[in-house]
Amino acid sequence: MENFKYTEENEKEFQRILEKYPNSDAMMLPGLWLVQEQIGWVSPAAMIFMADRLGKTPIEVHSFATFYTMFNLEPIGTYHIELCKTLSCMIMGAPELKKFIKDTLGIGPGETSADGKFHFSEVECQGACGGAPMIALNHTYHENLTVEKLENIIKGCK
Ligand code: FES
């Protein structure tokens, strides 16, 4: 297993946050978030790293990471498509978008495309109900989607 460590930039950010939240429990969330921003998922090596940094056991970090669905526990594609499946988006066309993703990229919820480029997740309300249906693509919201708009967004992913 390869060791994990923060990039220089993320190490600085970790230290900056640590000054605000010296409590190791409070640091778990932003600490793991930085990990995921860096490598796209929370690997076992990163859990051991975080446990060392915060004076926790690896199993404590693992329990924390598995509680929050926003943490990826396996490597995901370069582009993470998160489709909202809650009521407003569902009524306004999320099922058609889901079908389009399946038909064009060949992936359903929780799957990564064979080329490793796209990962698809269905998520609960993202607080953008006025723009339903919507996706987040690597955390950037795209609202008032149609199949055509989604097709253009996917084509734009290099
Ligand atoms: S229901 Fe989809 S963003 Fe709220």
pLDDT in tens, the chain (158 residues): 789 999 999 999 999 999 998 788 899 999 999 999 999 899 999 999 999 999 999 999 999 999 998 899 988 889 999 999 999 999 999 999 999 999 999 999 999 999 989 999 999 999 999 999 999 999 899 999 999 999 999 999 97
- Output the six-digit token pair for 41: 């998922």
* 49 C-beta neighbours (distance < 10 Å), count: 19
Give the position, in ligand 1's atom list, of the atom nearest the Cα of 133.
2
Q: Which fold has domain 79-155?
A: Glutaredoxin (3.40.30)
CA distances from 149 to 133, 144, 145 (A): 11, 9, 6
The region that residue 144 occupies, defined by phi over 0 for left and psi between -120 and 50 for alpha, beta otherwise, is left
| Domain 8-67 is found in CATH 1.10.10 | yes
Residue ranges of domains in the chain: 8-67, 79-155
- Note if the pTM is more than 0.75: yes
Ligand 1 center from residue 98 Cα (angstroms): 15
Distance 89 CA to ligand 1 centre (A): 5
> Ligand 1 centroid vs 126 CA: distance in angstroms?
5
Contact (Cβ atoms closer than 8 angstroms) between residue 60 and residue 99? no
CB of residue 86 inside a 6 A radius of ligand 1: yes
Residues 6+ apart with CB under 8 A from 28: 50, 54, 56, 61, 64
